[in-house]
Structure 1
Amino acid sequence: MANTSLQMMGLVLGIAGWGFGILVCAAPWWRVSAFVGDELVVSQVLSEGLWMTCLSERGRLQCKVYDSGLALTASVQMCRGLCVLSLFLCLLAVPLSVTGLKCTRCLGDAHETKARMAQVGAVLFLLAAFFYLVPVAWTVYVVIRDFYDPSVAAPLKRELGSALYLGWAVTALMLVGGAVLYLGSASPGAPAIPVFGRGGKANPPSTAESKPEKVFV
C-alpha cells in the first residue's frame, strides 16, 4: 500500500527543488570574475549567468540581459535548454503527483491508478534532477578548466559563483524528492493467501475419511 507520509515528504522536496531551481536558473551568479595576476581591481566584480550579466562597482549593481541568445556560446545555450527542460518536467510532475497522492480524492477509490500516477510524477522529478545536474556540472568543469589553463588571459578567467553551489542543492532536492515519492507510491502485489474463519471456508474432508466403512456380516 502507498505510504502517505513518504508521498507528502517526496512531493514537498520535489516542489522545493523546483522553486529553488527557478531562482538559480535566473540568477546571474553562475560565474564571477577572478582577478589573478598583476592587475587587481577590487571595486569591480563581474557576474555572469545564463540570461544576464551584472557588474558590481562601489556598492552599485548594474545588470543587463544578453542582447542576443544566438550570439552566446554553445555551452551557455546548452545549459539554458537543459535548465528549462528540467523545470518543465517539474511543472508536469507536480499535478501528476498531487493527483496520485493517497490522501487526495481526485480519482475516487482507484488506488492502483493513483499510485501509478504518483510514480510517473516521481520519475519526472528524477529526470528533472538529471537534466539540471548536467548544466551545473558542465559549468563547473568549464570554469575550473579555464582557470588553470595558461593560454586563457587573466581578465577572462572566472571563479565558481554561488548559484553553482545552490545548483547542487537543487539537484539533490529533486533527486531525493523523486526517490522518496516513488518509494512511497510503490504497492507490491500481495500473494494469494487462503483465508480461514468467518471470511472463508476450509475444504470439507473427503467422504471416505469422514464416514467409516460399513461392515456387513
Structure 2
Amino acid sequence: MEITASAIATDVLVMVLGILGLLLLILCAGSDCWRQDAKDPLSSVGLSIRCRGLWSECIFDNVANLWTCDIPISYLSEHPAVLVVTRVLVILSGFLTLAAMPLFIAGMKCTKLISDKVPRKYKFSFASGGLFFLGGLAGAIAVLWYGIDTVQKYKLEVTFGIPGVTYELGYAYWMAVGGAACACSTGILLIVASSLDAQSPGKEKNARRCLPDSKGTYL
C-alpha cells in the first residue's frame, strides 16, 4: 500500500481533531461551570462567582478566595429534563468518541496493525468516522438544547426582573461546543476519506481493463 503525503496529512489532522474533541468532552463533563452568574446589577455584585454544572453548583468567594460546591444528595432524584438529557448525551458522546479512537488507529495508513496486503483499512476508518460523527451529533444536541434553555431563562429573568441569580453560559459549555464540533469534523473527514479510498481500487481495476493488450503487436 503506497502511503502518500496527503494521506499522512489527513491522518495527522484527524488524530489532532479527534484527541482534542475527546479531551474537551471529558473536561466539560467534569467541569461545574456550564452556567455562570451573569455580570449585571440584577444578579451579581462582584463579591462571588456562581457556577452550575451537570453534577453540582459551586460558589467562589473572591474575598475569602474559597471555592465550595454543593453536591446533590442523590443523582436519581427529580431533576429538570434538560439537565438529565444533557448528562446522558454528554456521557454518550464521550464514550462514542473514545470507542472511535482504536478503530481510527487501526485504519491509519502508517500503522501496521492490519496487513497492507488486505486493502480493507478504509472499513475501519469508515466505522471510526461513523462513531466520531455520532458522538459529535450527540454532543451537538446536548449543547443546543442546554444553550436554548439557558438563553430563554436568562431573557425571562432579565425582562421581568426576577430576583435571584441570573445565569448565562459558562466556559464548560463552550468547551462542550468545541468538543462536539471537533468530533463532528473528525467524523466527516474520515467518512469522506474512507469513501475515496473505497472507490480507488475499483478505479484501478477499471483502468486496467480498459488498457489494450500490447502482447504480440510488433511493427
| TM-score, scaled relative to structure 1 | 0.82
Q: Secondary structure at the match of 1:103?
A: coil
CA distance in 2, matches of 1:95, 1:5: 19
> When the two structures are superposed, what TM-score results if normalisation uses the length of structure 2?
0.81
1:153 aligns with 2:153: no
Q: CA deviation at 1:67?
A: 2.2
What are structure 2's unaligned runs of at least 5 residues?
Answer: none
Confirm or deny that 1:7 pairs with 2:7.
no
Tell whether 2:77 aligns with 1:61. no
Please point out which of 73, 80, 85 is paired with 1:78.
85
CA contact (8 A) 1:9 1:180 kept: no
Structure 1 residues 39, 9: closer, same or farther in 2, change over 3 A? Answer: closer
| Aligned match of 1:180 | 189
The match for 1:31 is 35
**Total equivalences in the alignment:** 202
Tell whether 2:133 aligns with 1:126: yes
Aligned partner letter, 1:121: S
- What's the % identity of the aligned pairs? 24
Contact between 1:29 and 1:162, CA under 8 Å: does it hold in 2?
Answer: yes
Kept in 2, the 8 Å contact 1:32–1:160? The answer is yes
Equivalent in the alignment of 1:16: 20
**1:162 partner letter:** Y
Deviates more, 1:179-188 or 1:92-101: 179-188
Give per-residue Cα distances to partners, 1:26-73, cap 9 Å, x unaligned: 111100123656675321221010122211112211123332212322
Q: Tell me whether 1:113 sits opposite 2:127 in the alignment.
A: no
Q: Which residue of 1 aligns with 2:99?
A: 92
Structure 1: gaps of 5 or more residues: 206-217
User: In structure 1, the residue corresponding to 2:74 is in which secondary structure?
Assistant: coil
Equivalent AA in structure 1 for residue 70 of structure 2: K
Cα distance in 2 for partners of 1:82, 1:102 equals: 32
Aligned-partner Cα distance in 1 for 2:171–2:19: 21
SS at match of 1:32: strand
1:94 CA displacement? 0.3
Q: Which has the larger radius of gyration?
A: 1
Question: How far apart, in 1, do the equivalents of 2:42 and 2:188 lie?
Answer: 50
Q: CA 1:38–1:170 in 2, change beyond 3 Å: closer, same or farther?
A: closer
Aligned Cα RMSD in Å? Answer: 2.5
Give 1:74 shift.
Answer: 1.6
| Aligned-partner residue type, residue 169 of structure 2 | L
After alignment, is 118-127 or 106-115 more displaced? 106-115
Between Structure 1 and Structure 2, which shows a larger proportion of helix residues?
Answer: 2
Q: Please say which of residues 61-70 and 13-22 is displaced more in the overlay.
A: 61-70
Equivalent pair of 1:11/1:181 in contact (CA under 8 Å): no
Q: Give the distance between the partners of 1:97 and 1:154, measured in 2 at CA.
A: 51
Query: What code does the residue aligned with 1:6 have?
Result: T
